[in-house]
Amino acid sequence: MARNMVAGSMVMDRPTTRERLNAHAFEFSRLDGRGSIRLSAFKGRPLLVVNTASACGYTPQYAELQSLWSLLRHRGLVVLAVPSNDFGGQEPGGPAEIAQFCTTQYGVDFPVTAKQTVIGANAHPFFRWAVSSVGEAGWPRWNFQKYLVAPDGRLAEIWPSPVRPLADGVIERIQVLINQAGL
């Protein structure tokens, strides 16, 4: 997939033959342990996947993720938090602690997965797919890296941790995908 850097993000162009799968091929275990979240359930809708942690300097981005979800979910956006302890041990809690933290501190009501490994050979397949799609830039560099998946399942954009979920460029890019999907 060709890629261009724009204002701290990675904009994806058309897919190449290297991409055998799209994001809709993956699923995550639910935080509560009751089944899985199949990304195929979100076909036709933009999806923002974010690796998260409860004890990170970027953790206040949960509030903006919740605001973004509240603002655009009625237009089709799905926000999916993927807790991980891979960076600085900043997500040490178990499922109950993570759920309580997200709910009480930030009022999160968007989907949250079970804690995952997001880097290296044991990374969740979604993150390995991101790397296979765009190269090493697909690995999260820290907590709160954001992956925008287009309604057709291709990786549309990656934003690094410092880019806030309510940044104009993020909202504009999501709205473009919503409009292209006719939502």
Catalytic residues: 56
Q: Are 150 and 176 in contact (CB under 8 A)?
A: no
CA angle 128, 111, 177 (to 5 degrees): 70
Residues 112-143 as b/e (b if ≥16 CB within 10 A, e otherwise) read bbbbbebbeeebbebbbbbebbbeeebbbebb
**Residue 26: its H or E element:** none
The CB density around residue 53, as the number of other CB atoms within 10 Å, is 26
Residue 98 CA to residue 135 CA, distance in Å, equals 31
CA 61 from centre of chain: 13
